[in-house]
Amino acid sequence: GALLALNKPPRLPVLGRPGELSLDALLPALRRRLGLAAELHVVKAPAREYSGLVLLSSCYHTTKKLQQFFTNARCRGQYPATYRAITVGVPAEVEGEISTGLCWQQQGDRAMVRGCRWAGGTGDAPGSAEGCALQVVPVPAPGRRSLARKDVKSTLTRYRVLSATGGCALLQLQPRTAFPEQLQVHLTLLLCPALGDHEHSARVGRVLGVPFLLSLEAAPTRTQVLDEELLSRLGLSPRQLHHLPLHIHLQELVLP
């Protein structure tokens, strides 16, 4: 019918800046290649750094209906999107939930930032803020006022370990809420950052092999650090690590 599903590679944004390669910029060529009469719209897509399922529609009303369905499903406590992630570290519990407040914060400043626009809002974990030096930070116990003002959003992700080997794990992730970088931050709070997370993984330190959470001030953003054994298994040198993509993949979407 009106729907088309694709598999997006990591680091391809949904909406790019002028002249930048993006999913939206590729839609006219895709339409011509498939011989479609109607214009294609993005119904659902993972964030820039994620890979996985992209849902497109050639019908405007179908697009709006499905986008509203995804929003309503989360409000009803359902989990319409399922992700897979490879993590550095294995969660202590086989399954569980990660819940915390999240907000945007200026880098190097404790003050929260309001009114900053972010791009890529078609995914469960949209892209980063545009034109602002911001980072997403957890707020463990957000106050009612900050939640009411929407300075902080209460977020929840359900996880399950599917397999584990060599100090790494394959996780199933089901976000109940949608916030930029939610899955990366939640995995960091689980002390098992996603493989290829060069944004938040620095917050997980280790002493005698035991992971612990570092403060934001003590963990500036840097390329993820992996031990020699894992680097060898990946066939990478330390200099190549910054090329390692984020291993979070939108695996499945539930449709009405």
Convert the pLDDT of each residue in 116-166 to its tens digit: 434 334 444 444 444 457 889 888 888 888 888 888 999 999 999 999 999
- C-alpha dihedral sign at 223, 228, 230, 235: positive
58 vs 209: which has the higher pLDDT: 58
Quote the CA–CA distance of 156 and 150 in Å, as a whole number: 16
The reported pLDDT for the residue numbered 148 is 85
CA distance 26 to 216: 38
Summarised one tens digit per residue, pLDDT across range 207-252 is: 888 898 998 888 888 899 999 999 999 999 989 999 999 999 999 9
The model carries a pTM of 0.87
Closest by Cα among 237, 162, 246 to 201: 246
Average pLDDT, the chain: 88
All residues at 6 or more sequence positions from 194 whose CB lies less than 8 Å from its CB, including other chains: 85, 86, 87, 88, 183, 184, 187, 201, 246, 247, 248
**Domains contained in the chain, CATH given:** 3-82 (3.30.70.580), 85-253 (no CATH)
